[in-house]
């Protein structure tokens, strides 16, 4: 009889832990940021193709593959860097993200990718052209965002990256 009561208490404790263990269901805690890299594709009329507009000042329409090939789960760290009188976001990817970025930069050289972020605001930040092979896992781009917004993206990404790295 005592054996069954102890087993019940263990199951009850495990159930309570599962119900209270996850606070929000969102990786990254307070003010997380997402970062999604999408292939720019030709419009083909299929559900995987999505028309987007980027550049707020003079909007440009592109068609992207809805499924990102890289996302915030591959981010090791991010930073806002000063560059030639302006600023850029630099993203360093983990080993798996580095391999993905390398293969995409080789296969899609000369083509655009679209970069989306949700950092409190949801926006397409950039659509740079892949000019060269990227083997070191470090990607830099100039965002269509103010410096403060770029810093919010980076701060949120670093929080998410820290959580993802702990899980790995």
Q: Which tens digits make up the pLDDT trace of 61-104? A: 999 999 999 999 999 999 999 988 899 999 999 999 999 999 99
- Pairwise CA distance, residues 26 & 163, whole Å: 10
Contact call for residues 140 and 79 (beta carbons, < 8 A): no
The predicted structure's pLDDT at residue 84: 86
The predicted structure's pLDDT at residue 10: 45
The predicted structure's pLDDT at residue 164: 81
Phi-psi domain of 87 (left: phi exceeds 0; alpha: psi -120 through 50; beta: other): beta
Taking the model in full, what pTM does it have? 0.80
Q: Tokens 């899609």 correspond to what residue?
A: 108
Domain boundaries, the chain: 31-167
What is the domain class of 31-167 according to CATH? alpha beta
- Regions of the chain short of the pLDDT cut 70: 1-29, 168
Contact call for residues 70 and 115 (beta carbons, < 8 A): no
Contact call for residues 35 and 75 (beta carbons, < 8 A): yes
């Amino acid at each position: 009889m005592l054996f069954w009561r102890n087993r019940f208490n263990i199951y009850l404790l495990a159930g309570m832990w599962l119900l209270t263990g996850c606070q929000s269901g969102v990786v990254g805690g307070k003010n997380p940021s997402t970062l999604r890299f999408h292939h720019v594709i030709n419009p083909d009329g299929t559900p995987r193709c999505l028309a987007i507009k980027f550049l707020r000042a003079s909007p440009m329409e592109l068609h992207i593959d809805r499924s990102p090939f890289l996302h915030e789960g591959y981010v090791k760290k991010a930073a806002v860097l000063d560059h030639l009188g302006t600023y850029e976001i630099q993203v360093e990817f983990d080993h798996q993200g580095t391999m993905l970025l390398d293969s995409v930069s080789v296969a899609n050289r000369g083509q655009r990718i679209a970069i989306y972020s949700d950092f409190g605001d949801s926006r397409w930040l950039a659509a740079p052209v892949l000019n060269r092979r990227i083997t070191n896992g470090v990607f830099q781009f100039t965002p269509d965002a103010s410096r403060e917004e770029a810093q919010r993206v980076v701060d949120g990404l670093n929080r998410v990256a820290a959580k993802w790295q702990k899980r790995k």
